[in-house]
Amino acid sequence: MKTTKLVMLVMIIAVAMFVLIPNLSWAEDGAAIFKAKCAMCHGADAAGKPAMKAPSLISDEAKKKSDADLTKAVTETANTRPQ
């Protein structure tokens, strides 16, 4: 009896995830935003463009920054870059 209920619960969770996960498009939205707003300066690969003083977003230095540091950097330079 307990096994049947457990199997049913697992099946319900599996079906719910199958239905919901394809609808979670945040990753696709993030990629579209990067392509539209960031790639022109930071490059499609996010490696940066030194001639434009656009830093790499994939460097070890960038990876060490906190969310607060990154937020500050984006908000301070967002108005000075092409949009």
Q: Indicate left, alpha or beta for 52 from its phi (over 0: left) and psi (-120 to 50: alpha).
A: alpha
Where is pLDDT greater, at 62 or 26? Answer: 62
Q: Which residues contact 46 (CB under 8 A, 6 or more apart)?
A: 34, 38, 39, 56, 57, 58
- What is the rounded CA–CA span in Å between residue 42 and residue 55? 7
pTM over cut 0.75: no
pLDDT for the residue 66: 87
**Residue 53's pLDDT band (boundaries 50, 70, 90)?**
confident
Closest alpha carbon to 41 in 60, 62, 27, 55: 55
What is the structure's pLDDT at 78?
64
Task: Give the tokens for residue 48.
Answer: 């940066």
- Across 15-21, average pLDDT: 70
